[in-house]
Structure 1
Amino acid sequence: MQENSEDGRRPSSALRAPSHRDRGEGEDVVIIGGGILGICAAAFLSEAGRSVTVFDRTGICEETSSGNAAAFAFSDVLPLAHKGMIRQLPKWLADPLGPLAIPPAYLPKLLPWLIRFWRAGAAKHYEASLAAQVGMMKLAEAEWMGLLDRSGTRPMLREDGSLEFYESEAEFRASLPGWAERQRFGIGFRHVEGEEMAALQPGLSPRFVKGTFVPGWKTVADPMLLGKAVWAYAEKLGARFEHARVERVEAGASGATIVLAEGTRRKASQLVIAAGAWSHLLARVLGDRIPLETERGYNTTLPASAFDVKRQLIFSGHGFVITPLQTGLRVGGAVELGGIDRPPNFARSKAMLEKAKRFLPGLDPSGGREWMGYRPSLPDSLPVIGAARAPNVFYAFGHGHLGLTQSAATGRLIRDLVLGQTPPLDLSPFRPQRF
Structure 2
Amino acid sequence: MDENGPDGRPQGTLIVGAGIIGICAAIRLAQRGASVTVVDRTGVCEETSSGNAAAFAFSDVLPLAQKGMIRNLPKWLADPLGPLSIPPSYMPRLAPWLFRFWRAGRAAVYEPALAAQAGLMTLSESEWMALMDASGTRAMLRENGSLELYESDAEFNASLPGWAARERFGIDFRHVEGAELAALQPGLSAQFVKGTFVPGWKTVADPKLLGKALWAHAERLGVRFRQDSVTGVEAGPNGARATMADGTAVAASRLVIATGAWSHRLARQLGDHIPLETERGYNTTLPPGAFDVRRQLIFSGHGFVVTPLETGLRIGGAVELAGLDAPPNYARSKAMLEKAKRFLPGLQADGGREWMGYRPSLPDSLPVIGRASRSASVFYAFGHGHLGLTQAAATARLIADLVSGKPSAIDLSPFSPTRF
Report TM bin, short chain. Answer: over 0.9
Matched AA of 1:95: D
Residues 129/335 of structure 1: CA separation in 2 closer, same or farther (3 Å cut): same
Instruction: Report the 3-state secondary structure (helix = DSSP H, G, I; strand = E; otherwise coil) of the residue aligned with 2:157.
Output: helix
Shift of 1:352: 0.1
- In 2, are the aligned partners of 1:19 and 1:51 still within 8 Å (CA)? no
Alpha-carbon offset, residue 410 of structure 1: 0.1
Question: Deviation per CA, 1:32-56, whole angstroms, max 9, x where unpaired?
Answer: 0000000000010000000100000
Distance in 1 of aligned mates of 2:374 and 2:258:
16
- TM-score for the superposition, normalised by structure 1: 0.94
Percent of counterpart pairs with the same letter? 73
Amino acid of the structure 1 residue aligned with 2:307? T
| 5+ long unaligned stretches in structure 2 | none
Q: 5 Å matches for 1:132-151? A: 132-151=116-135
Alignment match, 1:243: 227
Q: Is the 2:9–2:238 contact (alpha carbons within 8 Å) kept by the matching residues of 1?
A: no
* Gap change, CA 1:22 and 1:358, over 3 Å in 2: farther
How far 1:25 sits from its partner (Å)?
Answer: 6.4
Q: Does 1:278 align with 2:262?
A: yes
CA distance in 1, matches of 2:213, 2:81: 35
The 3 A distance-change label for structure 1 pair 382 and 339 is: same
- Asked if 1 retains the 8 angstrom alpha-carbon contact of 2:145 and 2:201, the reply is yes
Q: Following superposition of structure 1 onto structure 2, how do residues 30-429 of structure 1 map, counting pairs within 5 Å?
A: 30-391=14-375, 392-429=377-414
What's the RMSD between the two structures over aligned residues? 1.4
Runs of 4+ in structure 1 displaced over 6 angstroms? Answer: 21-25
Change (3 A) 1:109 1:19: closer
Q: Is 1:430 aligned to residue 411 of structure 2? A: no
Secondary structure of the 2:253 match is strand
Secondary structure of the equivalent of 2:242?
strand
TM-score using structure 2 length = 0.98
Q: Deviations over 1:345-396 (max 9, x none)?
A: 0000000000000000000110000000000000011000000023200000
CA shift, 1:84, in A, is 2.8
Once the two structures are TM-superposed, the CA of residue 27 in structure 1 deviates from its matched residue by: 4.7
Contact 1:252 1:390 in 2 (8 A): no
Contact 2:268/2:274 (<8 A) preserved: yes
Give the Cα separation in 2 of the matches to 1:22 and 1:193.
65
Contact 1:35 1:63 in 2 (8 A): yes
Displacement of 1:320 after TM fit? 0.2
In the alignment, structure 1 segments of 5+ residues that lack a partner are 1-17
1:185 CA drift (Å): 1.3
CA distance in 2, matches of 1:21, 1:312: 49
Residue type at the aligned position of 1:233? H
